[in-house]
Structure 1
Amino acid sequence: MYENFIGLKEEKRDIIINSALMEFAKKGYDLASTNEMVKAAGISKGALFHYFASKKALFLFLCEYVFGVVSREFYEQIGHCGGDLLARYRRAAMLKGAVYQRYPPMFEFIKRLTVEKSSEIAAELKEQLEKMTDYGYQCLLGNLDTSLFRQDVPADKIRDLTIWALENYGNRSLKLTGDQRAEDIDMEALSFDFDQYLDVLRKCFYKQ
């Protein structure tokens, strides 16, 4: 569907992608301007619409592109640390920080997706987000080593309580850093704070 765009030289393609990501991230779907995107990318509007039939097509391509990067460089790397649930969450946090620092426009775009309200792309975005969430849980929770957990508490309860705690921690962190650019976030401080909570969960739910 996007053969003409995919066939561009990588440098030019990345400039267009990053320009579009930042415009959507700053203003949301409805207010994002393709005029601003082409100005930032240094291309004509005709060229943009040669690659993408509409603003909606461009937005949905960016969703697929972002989710592809997140899958390849984040989700698919989580399980490499074995079946320890807390170790996986820690690895996930480290990978997320690395991805965000490597692709700042993508980080801003993802943050905007979580609050995007446009009715024009609501159905497609909901489907994409659900697909990625389901895939993420498969990577995070598949083949867990529950023998690490305390034996006097059901393993599924430990798993669920851990997920709820760490997802709420992640939501809190996202709110605290919501107005900051990716490059301005103190990843080292966030990592230290996160490790302290992981230690508490390990003491509560793991064999000592």
Structure 2
Amino acid sequence: MHENFVGLKAEKRDAIINAALAEFAAKGYDLASTNEIVRAAGISKGALFHYFSSKKELFFFLCDYVYEVVNREFYEQIGHCQGDLLNRYARAARLKGSVYLRYPPLFEFVKKLAQEKSAEIAGELAQKLSRITETGYSHLLGNLDESLFRQDVPMGKLRDLIIWALENYGYRTMELVQDQPLAEIDMEALNADFDEYLDVLRKCFYQQ
């Protein structure tokens, strides 16, 4: 599907993708304008609808594109940390910062997906977000080294407490930066703060 679009020269294809990502990120699905997308991409509206039959089809193509990039550049790299859960989270934080800087329009789009309220796309979008979440958990939680955890408490409970703590930390961080342009986010400061919390969790839940 979309072979004609994928087969375009990279410069033209990327211009369309980045224009569409930016428009959906800025306005949300319902208010996003294909007129603005084609203007920013420098193509005709007929050309856009030659590749995508509707705004909805374009939107979900972008969701799949985002999933492929995040899976390749982010999730597949986390497993290099062996079975240390906290090291995986530390690597994930740095990978996220790196990918943010390399694909700014993509991650502005990602930041808004969880806030998308359009009834027209709600069901299918929920399925795609669930797929991304399941992929992330499989890479973060697969083949953990149980010997790293304290032995006087069930490992599953320690794992769950770590996940709950770090997920809520992530939600708080997203709330703090959600209205900031990516270029203004101090990734080094965020990573340093995150590392301090990882050290606390390591002292509480890992063997010393």
Q: What TM-score, normalized by structure 1, do the two folds share? A: 0.99
2:53 counterpart SS class: coil
Name the counterpart of 2:157: 157
Name the counterpart of 2:72: 72
Name the counterpart of 2:13: 13
2:43 counterpart SS class: coil
Name the counterpart of 2:187: 187
Task: Note the C-alpha offset of 1:73.
Answer: 0.6
CA distance in 2, matches of 1:191, 1:113: 23
Task: Note the C-alpha offset of 1:183.
Answer: 1.5
For structure 2, the residue ranges without an aligned partner over 5 or more in a row are none
Name the counterpart of 1:122: 122
Task: Note the C-alpha offset of 1:146.
Answer: 1.1
1:183 counterpart SS class: helix
CA distance in 2, matches of 1:146, 1:169: 23
AA paired with 2:173? S
* Superposition pairs of residues 90-129 of structure 1, within 5 angstroms: 90-129=90-129
CA distance in 1, matches of 2:137, 2:204: 23
For structure 1, the residue ranges without an aligned partner over 5 or more in a row are none
Q: How far does the alpha carbon of each residue in 1:114-138 deviate from its partner, in whole angstroms, 9 at most, with x for none? A: 1101111111101100111111100
Task: Note the C-alpha offset of 1:107.
Answer: 0.8
1:100 counterpart SS class: helix
Name the counterpart of 1:178: 178
CA distance in 1, matches of 2:81, 2:150: 20
Q: How many residues align?
A: 208
CA distance in 2, matches of 1:178, 1:127: 23
2:68 counterpart SS class: helix
Task: Note the C-alpha offset of 1:81.
Answer: 1.0
* Superposition pairs of residues 49-60 of structure 1, within 5 angstroms: 49-60=49-60
2:8 counterpart SS class: coil
Q: How far does the alpha carbon of each residue in 1:144-190 deviate from its partner, in whole angstroms, 9 at most, with x for none? A: 00100111111001100000000000000000001111121100000
2:179 counterpart SS class: coil
CA distance in 2, matches of 1:62, 1:184: 24
Name the counterpart of 2:28: 28
CA distance in 2, matches of 1:64, 1:107: 13
CA distance in 1, matches of 2:103, 2:182: 9
AA paired with 1:161? L
Q: What TM-score, normalized by structure 2, do the two folds share? A: 0.99
CA distance in 1, matches of 2:34, 2:40: 10
2:4 counterpart SS class: helix
Q: How far does the alpha carbon of each residue in 1:63-108 deviate from its partner, in whole angstroms, 9 at most, with x for none? A: 0000100001101110101100000000011111111111010111
1:119 counterpart SS class: coil
CA distance in 2, matches of 1:154, 1:36: 55
